Structure 1
Amino acid sequence: MTASMTPKTRAELLAYLAGLGISVTTHDHPPLYTVADSQALRGTISGGHTKNLFLKDKKDNFFLVTVDEEASVDLKQIHQLIGASSRVSFGKPEALMELLGVVPGAVTVFGLINDTSARVKLVLDSALMENAVINAHPLTNEATTSIANADLLRFVEATGHDAVILKVSG
Protein backbone atom coordinates (compact mmCIF):
# COMPACT_ATOMS: atom_id res chain seq x y z
CA MET A 1 0.00 0.00 0.00
CA THR A 2 1.35 3.40 -0.82
CA ALA A 3 1.17 6.54 1.24
CA SER A 4 -0.59 8.16 -1.72
CA MET A 5 -3.67 5.98 -1.25
CA THR A 6 -6.73 8.14 -0.88
CA PRO A 7 -8.81 6.97 2.06
CA LYS A 8 -12.41 6.10 1.37
CA THR A 9 -15.01 8.70 2.22
CA ARG A 10 -18.10 8.24 4.34
CA ALA A 11 -20.18 8.08 1.15
CA GLU A 12 -17.92 5.38 -0.31
CA LEU A 13 -18.14 3.39 2.92
CA LEU A 14 -21.94 3.58 2.96
CA ALA A 15 -22.07 2.58 -0.73
CA TYR A 16 -19.78 -0.39 0.04
CA LEU A 17 -22.07 -1.50 2.87
CA ALA A 18 -25.12 -1.14 0.61
CA GLY A 19 -23.31 -3.21 -2.02
CA LEU A 20 -22.95 -5.97 0.55
CA GLY A 21 -26.69 -5.76 1.21
CA ILE A 22 -26.05 -4.33 4.68
CA SER A 23 -28.55 -1.81 5.96
CA VAL A 24 -27.26 0.82 8.40
CA THR A 25 -28.55 4.00 9.99
CA THR A 26 -26.25 7.02 10.17
CA HIS A 27 -26.82 9.98 12.52
CA ASP A 28 -25.03 13.27 11.87
CA HIS A 29 -23.77 15.25 14.86
CA PRO A 30 -21.06 17.73 15.82
CA PRO A 31 -17.52 16.28 15.81
CA LEU A 32 -16.92 13.95 18.74
CA TYR A 33 -13.42 13.39 20.02
CA THR A 34 -13.97 11.51 23.25
CA VAL A 35 -16.28 8.99 24.86
CA ALA A 36 -17.55 11.82 27.07
CA ASP A 37 -18.50 13.83 23.98
CA SER A 38 -20.27 10.79 22.57
CA GLN A 39 -22.24 10.19 25.72
CA ALA A 40 -23.89 13.57 25.30
CA LEU A 41 -25.82 11.90 22.44
CA ARG A 42 -26.91 8.95 24.45
CA GLY A 43 -30.63 9.61 24.19
CA THR A 44 -30.71 9.38 20.41
CA ILE A 45 -28.69 6.33 19.48
CA SER A 46 -29.32 2.90 21.00
CA GLY A 47 -27.00 -0.10 20.98
CA GLY A 48 -23.38 -0.66 21.91
CA HIS A 49 -21.08 2.32 21.46
CA THR A 50 -17.48 1.66 20.55
CA LYS A 51 -14.12 2.74 21.84
CA ASN A 52 -11.23 1.88 19.54
CA LEU A 53 -7.61 1.30 20.45
CA PHE A 54 -5.10 1.40 17.59
CA LEU A 55 -2.12 -0.49 18.94
CA LYS A 56 1.23 -1.76 17.71
CA ASP A 57 3.86 -4.11 19.06
CA LYS A 58 7.64 -3.87 18.73
CA LYS A 59 7.60 -5.86 15.47
CA ASP A 60 5.28 -3.29 13.86
CA ASN A 61 2.27 -5.56 13.99
CA PHE A 62 -0.84 -3.38 14.20
CA PHE A 63 -4.05 -4.14 16.09
CA LEU A 64 -7.43 -2.46 16.22
CA VAL A 65 -9.12 -3.38 19.47
CA THR A 66 -12.79 -2.39 19.52
CA VAL A 67 -14.55 -2.47 22.88
CA ASP A 68 -17.60 -0.93 24.50
CA GLU A 69 -17.03 2.75 25.30
CA GLU A 70 -17.23 2.03 29.05
CA ALA A 71 -14.89 -0.96 28.96
CA SER A 72 -11.59 -0.88 30.77
CA VAL A 73 -8.66 -2.53 29.03
CA ASP A 74 -5.39 -3.47 30.72
CA LEU A 75 -2.83 -2.22 28.22
CA LYS A 76 -0.02 -3.86 30.18
CA GLN A 77 -1.55 -7.31 29.69
CA ILE A 78 -3.57 -7.09 26.48
CA HIS A 79 -0.65 -8.20 24.29
CA GLN A 80 -1.00 -11.69 25.77
CA LEU A 81 -4.64 -11.83 24.72
CA ILE A 82 -4.34 -10.45 21.19
CA GLY A 83 -1.24 -12.31 20.05
CA ALA A 84 1.17 -9.39 19.99
CA SER A 85 4.90 -10.15 20.03
CA SER A 86 5.53 -7.72 22.89
CA ARG A 87 3.79 -5.16 25.01
CA VAL A 88 1.81 -2.77 22.87
CA SER A 89 1.77 0.98 22.52
CA PHE A 90 -0.57 3.28 20.67
CA GLY A 91 0.09 3.46 16.94
CA LYS A 92 1.22 6.83 15.61
CA PRO A 93 -1.24 9.10 13.76
CA GLU A 94 0.75 8.61 10.52
CA ALA A 95 0.29 4.82 10.71
CA LEU A 96 -3.37 5.30 11.59
CA MET A 97 -3.91 7.39 8.46
CA GLU A 98 -1.81 5.09 6.27
CA LEU A 99 -3.52 1.87 7.39
CA LEU A 100 -7.07 2.84 8.37
CA GLY A 101 -7.45 6.19 6.59
CA VAL A 102 -8.64 8.05 9.68
CA VAL A 103 -7.31 10.62 12.13
CA PRO A 104 -7.14 10.31 15.93
CA GLY A 105 -10.64 10.91 17.29
CA ALA A 106 -12.24 9.16 14.32
CA VAL A 107 -10.76 5.67 14.80
CA THR A 108 -13.36 3.10 13.80
CA VAL A 109 -13.81 -0.52 12.85
CA PHE A 110 -15.04 0.83 9.50
CA GLY A 111 -11.46 1.97 8.84
CA LEU A 112 -10.74 -1.62 7.82
CA ILE A 113 -12.15 -0.71 4.40
CA ASN A 114 -8.91 1.25 3.87
CA ASP A 115 -6.58 -1.53 5.08
CA THR A 116 -6.45 -3.24 1.70
CA SER A 117 -3.34 -5.23 2.55
CA ALA A 118 -4.88 -6.50 5.84
CA ARG A 119 -1.99 -5.31 8.00
CA VAL A 120 -4.26 -4.54 10.95
CA LYS A 121 -5.53 -7.39 13.12
CA LEU A 122 -9.02 -6.66 14.41
CA VAL A 123 -10.05 -7.76 17.88
CA LEU A 124 -13.69 -7.25 18.85
CA ASP A 125 -14.44 -7.49 22.56
CA SER A 126 -16.93 -10.25 23.28
CA ALA A 127 -18.89 -8.00 25.68
CA LEU A 128 -19.39 -5.41 22.92
CA MET A 129 -20.58 -8.08 20.50
CA GLU A 130 -23.40 -9.05 22.88
CA ASN A 131 -25.19 -5.92 21.64
CA ALA A 132 -27.59 -6.52 18.74
CA VAL A 133 -26.56 -3.15 17.30
CA ILE A 134 -23.05 -1.70 17.27
CA ASN A 135 -22.36 2.01 16.72
CA ALA A 136 -19.18 3.34 15.12
CA HIS A 137 -17.97 6.40 13.25
CA PRO A 138 -18.32 6.10 9.44
CA LEU A 139 -14.69 7.24 8.88
CA THR A 140 -15.52 10.67 10.33
CA ASN A 141 -16.28 11.69 13.89
CA GLU A 142 -19.11 13.91 12.64
CA ALA A 143 -21.51 10.98 12.39
CA THR A 144 -22.35 7.67 14.01
CA THR A 145 -23.41 4.61 12.01
CA SER A 146 -25.50 1.87 13.63
CA ILE A 147 -25.02 -1.64 12.24
CA ALA A 148 -26.35 -5.04 13.31
CA ASN A 149 -23.63 -7.12 14.98
CA ALA A 150 -23.87 -9.92 12.38
CA ASP A 151 -23.63 -7.35 9.57
CA LEU A 152 -20.54 -5.85 11.21
CA LEU A 153 -18.92 -9.28 11.04
CA ARG A 154 -19.92 -9.57 7.36
CA PHE A 155 -18.34 -6.18 6.66
CA VAL A 156 -15.10 -7.14 8.43
CA GLU A 157 -14.83 -10.39 6.49
CA ALA A 158 -15.66 -8.63 3.19
CA THR A 159 -12.65 -6.36 3.74
CA GLY A 160 -10.37 -9.40 3.98
CA HIS A 161 -9.97 -9.32 7.75
CA ASP A 162 -10.73 -11.96 10.35
CA ALA A 163 -13.27 -10.90 12.95
CA VAL A 164 -11.53 -12.14 16.08
CA ILE A 165 -13.87 -11.97 19.07
CA LEU A 166 -12.12 -12.15 22.44
CA LYS A 167 -12.79 -11.04 25.98
CA VAL A 168 -10.35 -8.16 26.32
CA SER A 169 -12.21 -5.84 28.68
CA GLY A 170 -12.10 -6.05 32.43
Structure 2
Amino acid sequence: MPASRQDLLAFLDGLAIDVTTRDHPAVFTVAESTEIHDEIPGGHTKNLFLKDKKGRIFLVVALHDAEIDLKSIHQRIGAQGRVSFGKPDLLMEVLGVPPGSVTPLALINDRDAQRVTPIFDATMMEVEPLNFHPLENTATTTISRQGLLAFARACGHEPLIIAVSDKQGAV
Protein backbone atom coordinates (compact mmCIF):
# COMPACT_ATOMS: atom_id res chain seq x y z
CA MET A 1 0.00 0.00 0.00
CA PRO A 2 1.52 3.37 -1.01
CA ALA A 3 2.14 6.01 1.62
CA SER A 4 -0.64 8.53 2.16
CA ARG A 5 -0.24 12.28 2.49
CA GLN A 6 -0.48 11.85 6.26
CA ASP A 7 2.24 9.15 6.18
CA LEU A 8 4.49 11.47 4.14
CA LEU A 9 4.02 14.43 6.47
CA ALA A 10 4.68 12.23 9.51
CA PHE A 11 7.86 10.88 7.85
CA LEU A 12 9.07 14.43 7.15
CA ASP A 13 8.25 15.45 10.71
CA GLY A 14 10.19 12.43 12.01
CA LEU A 15 13.20 13.66 10.04
CA ALA A 16 12.76 17.15 11.54
CA ILE A 17 12.31 18.60 8.04
CA ASP A 18 10.26 21.78 8.24
CA VAL A 19 7.47 21.95 5.65
CA THR A 20 4.22 23.80 5.18
CA THR A 21 1.32 22.33 3.23
CA ARG A 22 -1.51 24.30 1.70
CA ASP A 23 -4.71 22.76 0.31
CA HIS A 24 -6.15 23.96 -2.99
CA PRO A 25 -8.37 22.69 -5.81
CA ALA A 26 -6.92 19.76 -7.78
CA VAL A 27 -4.47 20.70 -10.54
CA PHE A 28 -3.32 18.25 -13.19
CA THR A 29 -0.96 20.33 -15.32
CA VAL A 30 1.54 23.14 -14.91
CA ALA A 31 -0.81 25.42 -16.87
CA GLU A 32 -3.62 24.78 -14.38
CA SER A 33 -1.41 25.72 -11.45
CA THR A 34 -0.59 29.32 -12.44
CA GLU A 35 -2.95 30.81 -9.85
CA ILE A 36 -1.35 28.70 -7.10
CA HIS A 37 2.09 29.97 -8.15
CA ASP A 38 0.93 33.49 -7.44
CA GLU A 39 -0.31 32.53 -3.95
CA ILE A 40 2.54 30.30 -2.75
CA PRO A 41 6.07 31.76 -2.89
CA GLY A 42 9.06 29.75 -4.07
CA GLY A 43 9.95 27.56 -7.01
CA HIS A 44 7.11 25.61 -8.55
CA THR A 45 8.00 22.48 -10.43
CA LYS A 46 7.20 19.89 -13.02
CA ASN A 47 8.10 16.24 -12.75
CA LEU A 48 8.86 13.92 -15.64
CA PHE A 49 8.54 10.17 -15.03
CA LEU A 50 10.80 8.69 -17.71
CA LYS A 51 11.98 5.23 -18.74
CA ASP A 52 14.91 4.27 -20.97
CA LYS A 53 15.28 1.35 -23.41
CA LYS A 54 16.77 -0.87 -20.67
CA GLY A 55 13.80 -0.23 -18.38
CA ARG A 56 15.65 2.12 -16.02
CA ILE A 57 13.32 4.67 -14.45
CA PHE A 58 14.15 8.34 -13.93
CA LEU A 59 12.24 11.07 -12.13
CA VAL A 60 13.35 14.40 -13.57
CA VAL A 61 12.34 17.38 -11.44
CA ALA A 62 12.71 20.92 -12.78
CA LEU A 63 11.15 24.36 -12.43
CA HIS A 64 7.67 24.57 -13.94
CA ASP A 65 8.82 26.75 -16.84
CA ALA A 66 12.03 24.85 -17.62
CA GLU A 67 12.54 23.74 -21.20
CA ILE A 68 13.73 20.15 -21.45
CA ASP A 69 14.73 18.52 -24.72
CA LEU A 70 13.47 14.93 -24.53
CA LYS A 71 15.46 14.01 -27.62
CA SER A 72 18.77 14.65 -25.89
CA ILE A 73 18.09 14.39 -22.16
CA HIS A 74 19.23 10.74 -22.17
CA GLN A 75 22.78 11.94 -22.79
CA ARG A 76 22.66 14.21 -19.74
CA ILE A 77 21.14 11.72 -17.30
CA GLY A 78 23.02 8.59 -18.36
CA ALA A 79 20.06 6.75 -19.84
CA GLN A 80 20.50 3.97 -22.37
CA GLY A 81 19.08 5.41 -25.59
CA ARG A 82 16.23 7.84 -25.80
CA VAL A 83 13.72 8.05 -23.00
CA SER A 84 9.95 7.93 -23.08
CA PHE A 85 7.29 8.75 -20.52
CA GLY A 86 6.54 5.90 -18.14
CA LYS A 87 3.01 4.55 -18.36
CA PRO A 88 0.46 5.38 -15.63
CA ASP A 89 0.38 1.81 -14.32
CA LEU A 90 4.18 1.81 -13.92
CA LEU A 91 4.00 5.19 -12.20
CA MET A 92 1.45 3.84 -9.71
CA GLU A 93 3.45 0.63 -9.20
CA VAL A 94 6.77 2.39 -8.57
CA LEU A 95 5.89 5.74 -6.97
CA GLY A 96 2.34 5.08 -5.77
CA VAL A 97 0.82 8.17 -7.39
CA PRO A 98 -1.40 8.74 -10.44
CA PRO A 99 -0.53 11.09 -13.32
CA GLY A 100 -1.03 14.70 -12.20
CA SER A 101 0.35 13.97 -8.73
CA VAL A 102 3.95 13.12 -9.65
CA THR A 103 6.39 14.53 -7.11
CA PRO A 104 9.85 13.80 -5.73
CA LEU A 105 8.08 13.30 -2.40
CA ALA A 106 6.75 10.05 -3.89
CA LEU A 107 10.25 8.61 -3.39
CA ILE A 108 8.82 7.59 -0.01
CA ASN A 109 7.13 4.78 -1.96
CA ASP A 110 10.40 3.60 -3.55
CA ARG A 111 12.39 3.07 -0.35
CA ASP A 112 12.52 -0.72 -0.64
CA ALA A 113 12.76 -1.37 -4.38
CA GLN A 114 15.03 1.58 -5.24
CA ARG A 115 13.85 1.52 -8.87
CA VAL A 116 13.90 5.28 -9.51
CA THR A 117 16.89 7.49 -10.23
CA PRO A 118 15.94 11.01 -9.10
CA ILE A 119 17.37 13.83 -11.22
CA PHE A 120 17.06 17.34 -9.77
CA ASP A 121 17.71 20.10 -12.29
CA ALA A 122 20.65 22.28 -11.22
CA THR A 123 18.71 25.48 -11.93
CA MET A 124 15.86 24.33 -9.69
CA MET A 125 18.31 23.59 -6.90
CA GLU A 126 19.31 27.28 -6.85
CA VAL A 127 15.77 28.31 -5.83
CA GLU A 128 14.59 28.52 -2.23
CA PRO A 129 12.09 27.25 -1.16
CA LEU A 130 10.65 24.58 -3.47
CA ASN A 131 7.03 23.44 -3.87
CA PHE A 132 5.71 19.94 -4.61
CA HIS A 133 2.50 17.95 -4.35
CA PRO A 134 2.37 15.89 -1.13
CA LEU A 135 1.40 12.70 -3.07
CA GLU A 136 -1.87 14.26 -4.18
CA ASN A 137 -2.60 17.18 -6.47
CA THR A 138 -5.01 18.90 -4.06
CA ALA A 139 -2.24 20.47 -2.02
CA THR A 140 1.23 21.97 -2.26
CA THR A 141 4.03 21.32 0.21
CA THR A 142 6.81 23.88 0.58
CA ILE A 143 10.24 22.52 1.55
CA SER A 144 13.79 23.84 1.53
CA ARG A 145 16.39 22.53 -0.94
CA GLN A 146 18.32 20.95 1.91
CA GLY A 147 15.11 19.43 3.25
CA LEU A 148 14.39 17.92 -0.15
CA LEU A 149 17.88 16.41 -0.34
CA ALA A 150 17.65 15.09 3.23
CA PHE A 151 14.26 13.54 2.45
CA ALA A 152 15.51 11.83 -0.74
CA ARG A 153 18.53 10.45 1.13
CA ALA A 154 16.32 9.21 3.98
CA CYS A 155 14.39 7.30 1.30
CA GLY A 156 17.65 5.66 0.20
CA HIS A 157 18.14 7.78 -2.91
CA GLU A 158 21.11 9.98 -3.78
CA PRO A 159 19.63 12.50 -6.24
CA LEU A 160 21.74 13.52 -9.19
CA ILE A 161 21.87 17.30 -9.54
CA ILE A 162 22.33 17.84 -13.27
CA ALA A 163 21.63 20.74 -15.62
CA VAL A 164 18.81 19.23 -17.66
CA SER A 165 16.96 22.39 -18.65
CA ASP A 166 17.95 24.68 -21.47
CA LYS A 167 16.47 26.83 -24.20
CA GLN A 168 16.80 24.22 -26.98
CA GLY A 169 13.38 22.58 -27.04
CA ALA A 170 10.55 22.25 -24.62
CA VAL A 171 8.42 19.81 -22.72
Place the TM-score, normalised by the shorter chain, in its bin: over 0.9
Q: Which residue is equivalent to 2:128?
A: 132
Q: Which residue is equivalent to 1:114?
A: 109
User: 4+ residue runs of structure 1 moved beyond 4 angstroms?
Assistant: none
Shift of 1:72: 0.6
Shift of 1:130: 0.5
User: What is the one-letter code of the residue matched to 1:85?
Assistant: Q
Question: Aligned runs of 1:33-44 on 2, under 5 Å?
Answer: 33-44=28-39
- In structure 2, C-alpha distance between the alignment counterparts of 1:7 and 1:32, rounded to whole Å: 21
1:9 to 4, 9, 16: 4
Shift of 1:42: 2.2
Shift of 1:37: 1.1
Aligned to 1:26, the other structure's residue is in SS state strand
> Once the two structures are aligned, what percentage of the paired residues are identical?
55
| Deviation digits for residues 83-132 of structure 1 (CA, Å, limit 9, x no counterpart) | 10110000000110011000000000001000121110000001111111
Question: Aligned runs of 1:1-170 on 2, under 5 Å?
Answer: 6-116=1-111, 117-170=113-166
- In structure 1, C-alpha distance between the alignment counterparts of 2:161 and 2:122, rounded to whole Å: 5
User: Are 2:118 and 2:159, in contact at CA under 8 Å, matched by a contact in 1?
Assistant: yes
- In structure 1, C-alpha distance between the alignment counterparts of 2:44 and 2:37, rounded to whole Å: 9
- In structure 2, C-alpha distance between the alignment counterparts of 1:43 and 1:139, rounded to whole Å: 21
User: What is the one-letter code of the residue matched to 2:139?
Assistant: A
Shift of 1:43: 2.4
- In structure 2, C-alpha distance between the alignment counterparts of 1:34 and 1:67, rounded to whole Å: 14
**TM-score normalized by the length of structure 2:** 0.95
Q: Which residue is equivalent to 1:3?
A: none
RMSD between aligned residues: 0.6
User: What is the one-letter code of the residue matched to 1:106?
Assistant: S
**TM-score normalized by the length of structure 1:** 0.96
Aligned to 1:161, the other structure's residue is in SS state coil
Structure 1's unaligned 5+ residue stretches are 1-5
- In structure 2, C-alpha distance between the alignment counterparts of 1:144 and 1:109, rounded to whole Å: 12
- In structure 2, C-alpha distance between the alignment counterparts of 1:89 and 1:140, rounded to whole Å: 23
- In structure 2, C-alpha distance between the alignment counterparts of 1:98 and 1:162, rounded to whole Å: 21
Aligned to 1:74, the other structure's residue is in SS state coil
